[in-house]
Amino acid sequence: MKRLSRLELKYGRYAIGNLTLYIAALNLAVFILSLFTRMGIVGLLTLNPKLIIENFQIWRLVTFIFIPETFSILWILFSVYLIYMLGASLERYWGTFKLNVYYFVGMLGSIIAAFITYLFAGAGNMTGYYLNMSLFLAYATLFPEQEFLIFFVLPVKVKYLGILDAIFLLYSIFVSIRVGAWYQAVAILVAIINYLLFFGKDFINWIKLKRQVAKNRKRFFDQVRPYNQDRRF
């Protein structure tokens, strides 16, 4: 991340503060428009490479992240609040520039993946759903002991929800491939890769540390065992 720090010194002033606040607000706006109009607004916003290439609808390169994760009146406020809350927490921890990089790299990966799947499979209609799920993975990694109230009653640590989130993403890849929805499988894979770009090194270091601890423990017991056997006699 030293390279990222150097980039921040050079380009940090261009970072967008409260990025996820704007994303959450526009998600809510799209929900309201879809609820009270018959414009078919969601169809105008998805990341559809065919329409971008043939009809030059370049706004789709950005607007796909404004499509709400749910169109349920009961859950929309929770959904947009979660997007904002996760982003605001990550921004306080990382800083504005790093959060921008995380989200925009994920967007860029989604765009590239959409065009690749369109070229090779004839499909590639994507939203920002899985990109937002990768935000939750990042939050769960950085704040594992934080508790969420499930159904506003049951406290559950975020690390367990993060594990469930990761399992769901991996399972969704399997299901998507099985039904031939390659564009969806690639979208999920891009979200996971974006997460690993930021946390992969930490996982490698964690695994190395665990292995070293296990070796040290084994070496200790190997040294202690002969001593205990001698004392018996």
Q: What is the CATH number of the domain that holds 174?
A: 1.20.1540.10
**Residue 211 lies inside a defined structural domain of this protein:** no
Average pLDDT over residues 18-23: 94
pLDDT in tens, 100-132: 999 999 999 999 888 988 887 776 677 888 888
Neighbours of 150 (CB within 10 A): 10
pLDDT reported for residue 90: 94
Cβ density class 98-121: b for 16+ within 10 Å, e for less: bbbbbbebbbebbbebbbbbbeee
Q: What is the mean pLDDT of residues 26-34?
A: 92
pLDDT digits (tens, 9 = 90+) for 124-165: 677 888 888 889 999 999 998 888 877 667 788 888 989 998
Residue 29 lies in a domain: yes
- Is the distance from CB of 121 to CB of 183 less than 8 angstroms? yes
Q: Is the pLDDT of residue 97 over 90?
A: yes
Asked whether 154 and 173 are in contact (CB, 8 A), the reply is: no
Position 126 in a domain: yes
Copy the structure tokens of residue 222. 């190997």
Query: What pLDDT score was predicted for residue 225?
Result: 59
**20 band by pLDDT with thresholds 50, 70 and 90:** very high
Look at 33-47, 49-63, 186-200, 214-228 and tell me which has the smallest mean pLDDT: 214-228
Asked if the structure places residue 210 within a domain, the reply is no
Instruction: Map the chain to HEC letters.
Output: CHHHHHHHHHHHHHCCCCHHHHHHHHHHHHHHHHHHCCCCHHHHHCECHHHHHHHCCCCHHHHHHHCCCCCCCCCHHHHHHHHHHHHHHHHHHHCHHHHHHHHHHHHHHHHHHHHHHHHHHCCCCECCHHHHHHHHHHHHHHCCCCEEEECCCEEEEHHHHHHHHHHHHHHHHHHHHHCCCHHHHHHHHHHHHHHHHHHHHHHHHHHHHHHHHHHHHHHHHHHHHHHHHHHHC
Residue 27 has pLDDT above 90, yes or no: yes
Any domain includes 213: no
For residue 42, being part of any structural domain is answered with: yes
Confidence (pLDDT) at 23: 94
pLDDT for 99 equals 94
- pLDDT recorded at residue 200: 77
Domain hosting residue 12, numbered range: 2-205
pTM above 0.85, yes or no: no
CB 113 within 8 A of CB 38: no
pLDDT of residue 226: 60
Tally of structural domains, the chain: 1
Indicate the average pLDDT of the chain: 84
Q: Cβ-count burial of 200 within 10 angstroms (0-12 exposed, 13-18 middle, 19+ buried)?
A: exposed
> Token digits for 12?
């940090």
Residue 195 lies in a domain: yes
pLDDT value at 41 more than 70 = yes
- Report if residue 223 sits inside a domain: no
